[in-house]
A and B are shown apart, each in its own frame.
Chain A
């Protein structure tokens, strides 16, 4: 009796070429699956993809929108890539982003008269503190009691949503908003400047680029970055070498939470100019940033590129939603499928699949 069996063999090394190939193949497969979904919805997939590309990258307007969406993705994604490198799975950037937005917004609402040069940095600093504060709870739980950060960071997102909702329906509601759940509009100095007529709030863009570069340097050129990489690659070796692994957990969670918080400030001060319910502040940038970090293979510099790509997909998704009359969830499905395939594709860089004959 003969039978066949699939066998997975660990590869000794994952050459860069194999990594790129696996990434390309998984993206391609994801596009096929999503294409089938389009077909099921009665839309020609090629036409849909064309519209997405044109929508996100095919015009100056599309490009500017893509960059506007890439800003929060890059800022939060760079922080997440740092945390993931330490094998600390912060998946609650969305909540940290919301709390950061609130902190920045409270500063904006309370000091509307301050000059921009003083107000803007204070708002971003407050946003960083807010996000870091929100991340500090899972950080302490993990460092002290070894509570799984995947659960706690995720649960903190829902708490953050409700906190924001409570605040904009209650204490922070603007008196002139006639019952709508919005804060008052930010003063002119509290609103971020834009490039020309686009929605690109460039102070946040500069922050995102700086964060990516600094985090890259942190990982590759500092002792702390070395500790983060060792702790992520082999926690046992980190403890053996006398590294403080609890300190590392706390630091990466605070930094990634803080950067997500700054992204939140960018959204409320650069796009909306007011606080609103959570859905109004962020359409899930904190979650999408996970894909951004993963696609970048956890390299903070590369998150700038992947944030741009995913930003384009979001803009293109909006475009087909309108043009092809597709449900709003389509682009979320799109993103979900891509993440699934990219993570699954990772296996093929680490393992070789062999068909084996059995006697």
Chain B
């Protein structure tokens, strides 16, 4: 093997394999990162990007494989080892002490002696921020800073510790467009100073904007490593999404009926106060599964919360059949026939309570479960028993605590409860996340059976296979906007992939 570059690569990972219970997160991954380059790691959620980087940073230990840093074989057991090797990592969720200042955060855990050399540190931080264009006040408290500024503190922290190789996990997901531009400038500046950057992302425009090379991961495997200048967004999208989407379940033709959900120009903020939904419109009819595809973090959570009443709507209107519910309380929406299986299952269940008590979480107010203030436990149990049988939930008894059930059974119990009210609309957000193939199949069957019975279903999922298999129409959500609505057909797959990456917007008159 001939090596064209005279210097050894900054990072060389060979045959890295990592198994988690039931999942092969990394499957014999080879990765070479040259000194001084910006290398993008591109892939969908669950492709294994973050796992691979956590291995490099010493958070996980690989089951197989070897790592070389600057040509020297190393074994990295902890982030401490990684830092000693000059590797720094900026996580998606910042790890800063909110009530401490920038200086205190940067030197936290570094002191050898008892004394905090704050003056010295403060000087060095000023010097570093000037050199790398990382504007931040060293004496500010973290809670006073925006997400972009906090990220700069994280970068300073890594540089202060002498990081030569910097890993950034989805660095732009929390930033405003202006902050993204600043970040990209800083990264360029850093490579000029000889730093090497590894950059996890699923956004194609960022890859083409700043990376020198890109490695595409899919389902734990390396699909390709390319020079960014010799590829394009279309090719990258195809490689990232793949073509193996199967249509295993057959869907019979159903004539969609009356409009059950109408969303008009919906706008809502995320927890940071930025617009997470920037004016979304769609309708769902009876007997229709409407899929929302997209990479997590593009407004899916906010959409679900705005629809069920847990997040205030800034502008726009929502109708359930003919009733406007835009500003209704969660309880009013439940009573008007809105059901929801949220992506975080445990926010819809009480794991430490019994299956029976969980089955009535939304219906306990009805007179059938006890007159006046009373709750009739016998009725609750017999009612739950019926649902358990009807939806084949496997549980020793209806008095078993929910947390003792398997993931698939928890999800089936949840679906049973939500469907038991004969809702006008069912929202199912990532309904099969974390489930094995068999459990996934069952959940899909239940949803398709509901469609056959004329239920309107909003399906939100990061799993493209799921969206394509179940939906009649698919909308792609990117950065708080719908990029297009197309039929769920194989020939639209490439379009969907491009829209998911924000590289393509379907003209509105072509929406279905």
Contact = CB atoms under 8 A, between A and B. Distances in A.
Partners in one complex: yes
B308 interface: yes
Interface in B362-415: 362, 364-365, 369-370, 373-375, 377, 401, 403-404
B361 A230 contact: yes
B349 A234 contact: yes
Contact of A240 (B348, B373, B374, B403): B348
Contacts of B309: 242
B229 interface: no
A233 B353 contact: yes
B331 interface: yes
A12 interface: yes
Given A229-B353, A241-B334, A223 B365 contact: yes
Interface string A227-243: 00110011011011111
Nearest to B401: A13
B168 to A, nearest CB: 29
A12 B403 contact: yes
Contacts of B361: 230, 237, 241
Contact of A237 (B332, B340, B350): B350
B353 A223 contact: no
Contact of B364 (A223, A234, A236): A223
A134 B350 CA distance: 32
B88 interface: no
Interface string B17-60: 00000000000000000000000000000000000000000000
B375 A237 contact: no
Interface in A222-261: 222-226, 229-230, 233-234, 236-237, 239-244
B492 interface: no
A146 interface: no
B357 A226 contact: yes
A221 interface: yes
B279 interface: no
Contacts of A239: 310, 330
A239 to B, nearest CB: 6
Contacts of A236: 346-347
A234 B373 contact: no
B14 to A, nearest CB: 21
Interface in B299-354: 308-310, 329-335, 340, 342, 346-353
B373 A222 contact: yes
A242 B370 contact: no
B299 to A, nearest CB: 19
Contacts of B334: 241-242
Nearest to A224: B373
B374 A221 contact: yes
Nearest to B358: A237
A234 B364 CA distance: 16
Contacts of B340: 240
A220 B357 CA distance: 11
A262 to B, nearest CB: 22
Contacts of B369: 223
- Interface residue tally on A, bucketed by range: 20 to 34
A242 B373 contact: no
Nearest to B330: A242
Given A236-B347, A240-B330, A226 B375 contact: yes
Given A221-B375, A223-B370, A234-B350, A240 B308 contact: yes
Interface in B402-434: 403-404
Contact of B374 (A222, A242, A243): A222
A237 B340 CA distance: 12
Given A12-B403, A13-B404, A223-B365, A242 B352 contact: no
Residue of A13, A220, A229, A242 with most partner-chain B CB within 10 A: A242
Contacts of A237: 346-350, 361
Nearest to B377: A221
A234 B330 contact: no
B427 to A, nearest CB: 12
A79 B377 CA distance: 23
Nearest to B348: A240
Contacts of A230: 350, 353, 361
A167 to B, nearest CB: 38
A240 B310 contact: yes
Contacts of A242: 309, 329-335, 362
A131 B111 CA distance: 51
A242 B360 CA distance: 12
A233 B352 contact: yes
A82 B332 CA distance: 28
Contacts of B404: 12-13
A326 to B, nearest CB: 41
Contacts of A241: 330-331, 334, 348, 361-362
Nearest to A217: B374
B357 A240 contact: no
Given A242-B330, A242-B331, A226 B347 contact: no
Contacts of A225: 375
Nearest to A358: B77
Name, among A12, A226, A230, A233, the residue most crowded by chain B CB atoms within 10 Å (CB to CB).
Answer: A226
A248 to B, nearest CB: 13
Nearest to B344: A236
A8 B161 CA distance: 31
A234 B365 contact: no
Contacts of B332: 242
A293 to B, nearest CB: 19
Interface string A8-52: 000011000000000000000000000000000000000000000
Contacts of A226: 357, 364, 375
Given A222-B374, A225-B375, A234-B351, 13 more contacts: A12-B403, A221-B377, A223-B370, A223-B374, A233-B350, A233-B352, A237-B346, A237-B347, A237-B350, A239-B330, A240-B340, A241-B334, A241-B348
10 contacts: A12-B404, A220-B377, A221-B377, A233-B352, A234-B349, A237-B350, A241-B334, A241-B362, A242-B329, A244-B331
Interface of A: 12-13, 220-226, 229-230, 233-234, 236-237, 239-244
- Give the 6 A-B residue pairs with the shortest CB-CB distance, closest first: A242-B331, A242-B330, A236-B347, A234-B350, A241-B361, A222-B373
